[in-house]
Amino acid sequence: MKQKWNNENWLVSHFNYKDEVRSQFEIPPKVEIHDATLRDGEQTSGVVLTPEEKVEIATMLGECGIHRIEAGMPAVSKDDRIAIENIKKLNLNSKVFGFVRAKKEDIMMCHECGVDGVIIEVPIGKPKLEYQFNWSVDRVIEASIDSIRQAKSLGMYTVFFPYDTTRADELDLEKLLDAVMQNSAPDSIGIVDTMGCSYMEATEFLVKLVKEKTKLPVEIHTHNDFGLAVANSLKAVTLGASVVHTCVNGMGDRTGNASLEEVVAGLTMLLGVDLGIDIPKLMELSDKVQELTNYPVAVNKPIVGTNNFTREAGIGADTLFSHPLAMFAINPYFLGRKPKLLLGKKSGMTSINIRLKEMNKELDEEAKAKLLADVKEMGIAKKRALTDEEFLRLVGKYE
């Protein structure tokens, strides 16, 4: 049997797969990715996508094997409605969802766009109810029951999305869930860490609470304000959450949402979940979204960062190419990348030999020793790695 932690494409910690670790998990037999780039991702400050661009991104999401695409919120604008309708017309293998407030006109608008499912948001976080909306829990309950009934009557898969869940008063949340289940049960319940302020054990508590109260499938939607969006998403899956909400490149309001590519890699490689998603294709998707949104990712961003497979340190330089999984947890070639050796302050003689060979240059040992000293000196002076042109000029001194 092929080891899920060790193959030609990745080599992660085998401790992830020890019986003592796995026995604590309740991973569902089927886990799906719900990508919200076209709605929540577009909420990234300064980002606007045209209907045509949304269709292009949706097409690529479908080609990657993403299970559900949140195509937008039709109440926002005519362009959003056009985009949702056109994405649905693509007949992708992905299900197409719309996002709505708990309002009849929003739900009807979504239905008219032809979506397969709907995300119904209501506020439940205490700060939201008290300071932003001035709503009572009873008002939230009334709006929730009416909107869920309407969406279900129209034949749409209905996800109940009480947002800011992680800052809800516990009694308010329990009262809302009890009322909804008694009067208009949705198809699934979202746990929404709107402000990205939940620690993993708190996520565990909420997943267990919602499962116990509703007996419905649980979906997890996290933000990254404390850098825990992906960790909380993976944690929720190990507790039985069957749908993870993501955005390409971790886009989204403020610090962003759980990153699609990081969640998919984590579920696949660290937890051994078979998602049926083409991971290498996520690299192309990341590049396209960066291009269309003019929102570049950090060069060292996990999975898709351009510098993830570069090294300057001389130690292990030869292994970089002969056995990349000794140096990285993921084989760069699996993602369509190549290992890259940089030259600078931290370089050693092995690095010099490799780069000379790559450039079809030969020097004697004395010259190479001087070249290495020059490389280090220039790296220190410029406070960065050398370019190929700079290295070649140094080599020219000794030819």
Per residue in 13-60, pLDDT (tens digit) is 999 999 999 999 999 999 999 999 999 999 999 999 999 999 999 999
Residue 2 has pLDDT above 90, yes or no: no
What integer best gives the mean pLDDT of the chain? 95
Q: How confident is the model at residue 320 (pLDDT cuts 50, 70, 90)?
A: confident
pLDDT above 90 for 74 = yes
State the Cα–Cα distance between residues 315 and 113, nearest whole angstrom: 57
Burial of 223 (0-12, 13-18, 19+ CB in 10 A): buried
Backbone angles phi, psi at 282, to 5 degrees: -65, -25
Share of the chain above pLDDT 90, in %: 90
What is the per-residue pLDDT across 91-129, written as a single tens digit (0 to 9) for each? 999 999 999 999 999 999 999 999 999 999 999 999 999
Q: Is the pLDDT of residue 225 over 70?
A: yes
Query: Is 1's pLDDT higher than 70?
Result: no
**What is the reported pLDDT for 3?**
72
Spell out the alpha helix ranges (H) of the chain.
19-22, 51-64, 78-89, 104-112, 126-127, 137-153, 170-183, 200-214, 229-238, 260-265, 279-293, 319-322, 349-358, 365-382, 388-396
By CB atoms closer than 10 A (0-12, 13-18, 19+), residue 108 is middle
| Contact between 247 and 37 (Cβ < 8 Å) | yes
Give the lowest-confidence range in 119-128, 193-202, 233-242, 309-318.
Answer: 309-318
